[in-house]
Structure 1
């Protein structure tokens, strides 16, 4: 089976009047179809920059990024991007927020609208379809943002700390919900997070980055002895603590 996404020896520097700042240095890894990858690293090491490169918002200076053999372009329809904030529009209802992407792309087809209806029902937002974002909890807003992204049928989902603004209990519940949703939808994803526990609980592999200029120090495959692995259940797995200590040590060793 060929990788869905290949990152080959990618480097990037930021250029200003005062000089050059090296952000990423020779990053290489791949993502297989159906795989969930988490990326962790020190604050400011370039994790979000990496996602911007993957989705084509930033050009690579060195190296290659290929998705199914072709480089991503800005606004690439193959890639869905879920940011730290939900960016729901207050003047639109939840339903009209969820179909916004389809509206912009002029893809309001009966088939895709039917899919939206199904997701609203499946993920508990149907009864809130006529509500406005300020009337919903943070977790419900993130579910709406995810449905808006999935409605476009991306082949790859990028998640840039989408739970960071939520309180701890809501964060656990929403990460569990979204993990289940992505598993049901068979969506490969890359999650950027500062939370080691979140990375272990959700990912098939964890990519560890060093401090800036970021390079890959280690890639840790996650294998938990659970019959029905969910993000919440993963935290109780016997191997969880060992993975946490390994990644914590790796991050501090290279910080």
Structure 2
């Protein structure tokens, strides 16, 4: 099976009048179809920068990003990007917020509108379609933001700490919701997170970055001994703690 995404020898530095700041150093990895990859690393090491390069928002000084064998470009429609904040617009209803990306791309087709209706029903937002964002809980807002992203039918989903603004209990429930949704949709994803437990519970593999300039320290395959694995059930797996200790040690070794 060929990789969906091929990241090859990425390097990037930020340039300011005061000098050069190396951010990424010779990063390479593959993402397979249907795979969920989590990226962890020391604070400020360049995790979000790496996502921005992958989706074409930043151009690397060296290296390449290929998706299905072709170069990723700025604003590549094959990728969906969920940020730390949901960025729902208060003056639009939840339904109108979900339509926003399709409106911008002029893709309000019957097929995609039908898909939105189905997701609203499945993910428990149908009764709140006319509500304003401020009337919804943080978890419901994140589900709305996810539907807005999935409505564009991206081939790959990029998640930049999308649960970080939520309280702990909501964070667990929403990460479980979104993990189940992505599995049901068979949607490959790359998640940036500071939370080791979140990375282990959601991902098929965890990529560990070093301190800045970020390089790949290790890639850890996650194979938990739990049936019908979900993000919440993964945390009860007997081998969960071993993965946590392994990744914790790697992070400390490279911090």
Indicate the TM-score class for this superposition, using the shorter chain for normalisation: over 0.9
Take 1:53 and 1:41, find their aligned partners in 2: how far apart are those partners?
Answer: 17
1:97-246 matched pairs, under 5 angstroms: 97-246=97-246
Give the aligned partner of residue 64 of structure 2.
64
- Aligned-partner Cα distance in 1 for 2:55–2:72: 6
- Once the two structures are superposed, what CA deviation does each residue of 1:217-251 show, in whole Å capped at 9, x if it has no partner? 00000001111000000000011000000000000
Matched positions, count = 255
2:70 partner SS: coil
Deviation at 1:72, TM superposition (A): 1.1
SS at match of 2:26: strand
**What does residue 80 of structure 1 align with?**
80
Residue 93 of structure 2: aligned partner: 93
Shift of 1:48: 0.2
TM-score, reference length from structure 2: 0.99
What is the DSSP-based 3-state SS (H/G/I as helix, E as strand, rest coil) of the residue aligned with 1:27?
strand
1:175-203: CA deviation from partner (whole Å, max 9, x where unpaired): 00000000000000000000000000000
What secondary structure sits across from 1:99 in the alignment? Answer: helix
Once superposed, which parts of structure 1, at least 4 consecutive aligned residues long, lie more than 6 Å away? none
Partner SS, residue 22 of structure 2: strand
Secondary structure of 2:152's partner?
Answer: coil
The CA distance in 1 between the partners of 2:73 and 2:94, in whole Å, is 29
Give SS of 2:102's match.
helix
Q: CA RMSD in A?
A: 0.4
Q: CA deviation at 1:73?
A: 1.2
| Distance in 2, Cα, partners of 1:70 & 1:22 | 27
- Unpaired runs of at least 5, structure 2: none
Show structure 1 runs of 5+ residues with no match. none
Cross-structure match for 1:17: 17
Counterpart Cα distance in 1 of 2:24 and 2:3: 22
Give the TM-score taking structure 1 as reference length.
0.99
Which whole-Å deviations, capped at 9, do the CAs of 1:29-88 have from their partners, x for residues lacking one? 110000000000001000000000000000010011111111111111100000000000
Q: Structure 1: how far apart are the matches of 2:199 and 2:21?
A: 28
Distance (Å, rounded) in 2 between the aligned partners of 1:210 and 1:109: 44
